Structure 1
């Protein structure tokens, strides 16, 4: 029987409450990471703002309120993660939600070299390795070290942030300007690593399901953030909702996956992309 019918005292807002829960967000000072932290805090969670940028992490935590903390965290370093785990458990006593948000998306220091370096034929091996380290190994290590606490407790929610490019190949045409000039290519590392995150999610959901740990993926679409006008126009033309995302467009989906509102959901990929992958 539906829980809401069998237990009328359980109000829908309670399903989305994270009161008393401790939530870790990696890569928390980035564009979407900040909004993730704000959403989890608004839902009542104790938020651990985790990032390699320690001052920014602590600053964001202070903005959220006194019960939240900012920690320096390197997702590729097991010692950094173990130290953070000890700090979190000492302060809060539990780890209930993990948002694996930290990731590298290629940025080329010299715009004049972007087209040449982003082309698959020339793409630097070191760039590919670095993306694998952060985007895949980082998700693995954070899930292993923080998720094991959840498995021992018999409950928890891990949310891996992937991308539409984890599901479909990049359309290189949207990176061409109004004159048809290719300004750069979407390079191979981001789609490759985000595709890996999707299947790692399925593995871990199947592995820890009997332990009460739910593992899901949130796949966002592109966020408008000062890109070239031609790119925004090209992107919008491929999006049924007719716009790029705003950073807060993913807050509702994140709280849904973190909370009991998605209690019977694991191994899933929640796509929030304005319809980008539907056509």
Structure 2
């Protein structure tokens, strides 16, 4: 099969992409990345108002090729309803997740493993991992029936390393009450990499490629002390800017990566090489 080469390989004109959890910081960037190379992008979020606001912020550049829709990734009925309303999907970006904030709020520190609520575990796994499975099952099966497509799962550098809990320490807080990055985040992101590999093998014969992108820490008005601590762990000495993943998304979601499937691409300023 002849594949496009050069910059033509990045062209998604005439293709439709769907990004889950796209009302947030990186979700908007993924939408912008795909729209930049010609795709019509369905920007979805559980919060329709957030999806509409994000779409409105991008329409000045990308016009009516950015469409907002409400989507509950934990509901197969919701996924099927969006697919029915929007038509066939060529590219799926599984970005929806719960990013639990690390705080020391007094009383038992609920982020710690010993006190972490089971309902929080169930909810965060449902959104970040089960949601990706359901979206992939519904939309990937549709891609397979139509002869191919692309699924990109957004994981994290914490899919391959453990959180360095020293980053989240608070002065004046007892050791047993120190806040931590919750267990669910690592489990979800590692699970997405496993899901990526499974689906890549499962649908290889139907032309559906599945890869994962694992970003490092993205600056989003973090406190200076946190930025300083994290930057010391990164060989490049800084956190990522939100827009620095656009080119990777374009590569992984386009024919430019036509011979790549089942891979987890780490872009973390070098943190995981040490």
Counterpart of 2:160 in structure 1 is: 167
Counterpart of 1:221 in structure 2 is: 216
Counterpart of 1:7 in structure 2 is: none
Deviation (angstroms), 1:67: 2.9
Deviation (angstroms), 1:230: 1.4
Counterpart of 2:26 in structure 1 is: 32
Distance 1:256 1:179 in 2: 46
Aligned pair partner of 1:122 in 110, 115, 122: 115
Unpaired runs of 5+ in structure 2?
none
Helix, strand or coil for the counterpart of 1:85? helix
Offset from partner CA, 1:23-46 (integer Å, 9 cap, x none): 000000111000111111011000
Deviation (angstroms), 1:179: 7.7
Deviation (angstroms), 1:181: 7.5
Deviation (angstroms), 1:242: 0.8
CA distance change for structure 1 residues 115 and 99 in 2, over 3 Å: closer, same or farther?
Answer: farther
Aligned-residue CA RMSD in angstroms? 2.0
Counterpart of 1:195 in structure 2 is: 190
Distance 2:17 2:106 in 1: 40
The answer as to 2:241 corresponding to 1:243 is no
Offset from partner CA, 1:64-116 (integer Å, 9 cap, x none): 31132110000001111111000111xxxx311000000011136x7424971
CA distance change for structure 1 residues 240 and 115 in 2, over 3 Å: closer, same or farther?
Answer: farther
Helix, strand or coil for the counterpart of 1:184? coil
Counterpart of 2:207 in structure 1 is: 212
The answer (yes or no) to whether the contact 2:43–2:51 under 8 Å persists in 1 is yes
Helix, strand or coil for the counterpart of 2:203? helix
Unpaired runs of 5+ in structure 1?
5-9
Q: 1:82-93 to 2 correspondence within 5 Å? A: 82-89=80-87
Counterpart of 2:124 in structure 1 is: 131
Deviates more, 1:176-185 or 1:259-268: 176-185
Counterpart of 2:269 in structure 1 is: 274
The answer as to 2:126 corresponding to 1:141 is no
| TM-score, L = length of structure 2 | 0.92
Distance 2:93 2:108 in 1: 33
The answer (yes or no) to whether the contact 1:98–1:159 under 8 Å persists in 2 is yes
Distance 2:158 2:79 in 1: 28
Distance 1:44 1:264 in 2: 21
Q: Tell me the number of residue pairs that the alignment of Structure 1 and Structure 2 aligns.
A: 268
The answer (yes or no) to whether the contact 1:18–1:44 under 8 Å persists in 2 is yes
CA distance change for structure 1 residues 161 and 114 in 2, over 3 Å: closer, same or farther?
Answer: farther
The answer (yes or no) to whether the contact 2:170–2:179 under 8 Å persists in 1 is no
Distance 1:83 1:114 in 2: 43
The answer (yes or no) to whether the contact 1:159–1:258 under 8 Å persists in 2 is yes
Helix, strand or coil for the counterpart of 2:217? coil
The answer as to 2:14 corresponding to 1:16 is no
The answer (yes or no) to whether the contact 1:52–1:73 under 8 Å persists in 2 is yes
Distance 1:114 1:143 in 2: 40
The answer (yes or no) to whether the contact 1:114–1:184 under 8 Å persists in 2 is no
The answer (yes or no) to whether the contact 2:104–2:170 under 8 Å persists in 1 is no
Deviation (angstroms), 1:61: 2.5
